[in-house]
Amino acid sequence: MTLPGSTVIRPSAPADVAAITEIYRFHVLHGSGTFEIEAPEATEIARRRADVTRNGLPWLVVECAGVVKGYAYANHFRPRPAYRFCLEDSVYVASDAFGRSLGRLLLAELLARCEALGARQMLAVIGDSANAGSIALHRALGFEAAGKIQGAGWKFDRWLDVVLMQRALGMGSTTGASVS
């Protein structure tokens, strides 16, 4: 997807792993949106990306002037077959690109691609109930509150909640599944 100016959303490629790793490193070390404590190396990020894409699911990047400034992907919420229509999203933007609506662009494109694949539900498992940016992003794109798990994680010397949000894709759960 080409956007105004020199902003492009596209499927990620192996060559993007270094940039993705650096974006995620910032969030692990400075944010509570992920409950990872130690930032994974590029080899681990490459493995995770390969797992997602091998399952036929999207892992997208947003480029501004040819530089990767964010990424988003969807993965199965749980591995059991009954969950096969239910995905979980992840969206991360480079710290120098905050406030430019890149997360919104990424998530909107991710939702469209997952719906086209036949997914029926998208879940957001948001670290930290004080993560107003992520909660607002998801709410703006039609997600609704689905619950909160209090004190689920310990990071930065404090207990952190997990906020659950959900959005139907396509017909959601109103009809039978059209694909197996």
Instruction: Retrieve residue 35's tokens.
Output: 């409950």
174 falls within a domain: no
pLDDT tens-place string over residues 121-134: 999 999 999 999 99
Query: Residue 84 is part of which domain span?
Result: 7-168
Best CA proximity match to 169, nearest among 79, 107, 93, 105? 107
pLDDT over 90 (residue 173): no
Contact assessment for residue 140 and residue 132, using Cβ atoms and an 8 Å cutoff? no
127 part of a folded domain: yes
Amino acid at 140: A
Determine the Cα–Cα distance for residues 35 and 160; give it in Å rounded to an integer.
9
Above pLDDT 70, what percent of the chain?
Answer: 95
Predicted model pTM: 0.93
Q: What's the CA gap between 56 and 47, in Å, rounded?
A: 15
Axis-axis angle for helices 132-140, 102-116 (nearest 10): 50
The answer to whether position 56 is within a domain reads: yes
**Helix (H) / strand (E) containing 18:** helix 17-30
pLDDT digits (tens, 9 = 90+) for 18-64: 999 999 999 999 999 999 999 999 999 999 999 999 999 999 999 99
Cα–Cα distances in Å, from 48 out to 31, 41, 121, 140, 149?
20, 11, 21, 28, 25
The CATH number of the domain holding residue 116 is 3.40.630.30
Number of Cβ within a 10 Å radius of residue 36:
15
Asked whether residue 178 is domain-assigned, the answer is no
- Give the Å distances, CA to CA, from 130 to 25, 66, 142, 150, 170: 20, 33, 19, 12, 30
Proportion of the chain in helix, strand, coil states, percent, rounded to 5: 35, 35, 35
Q: With 90 as the cut, is the pLDDT of residue 3 above it?
A: no
Whether 2 is in a domain gets the answer no
For residue 59, is it within any domain? yes
| Mean pLDDT across the chain | 94
Tally of domains within the chain: 1
Structural domain includes residue 92: yes
Mean pLDDT on 5-12 = 91
Q: Can you name the residues that pair with 86 across neighbouring β-strands?
A: 121
Look at residue 126 and tell me if it is in a domain.
Answer: yes
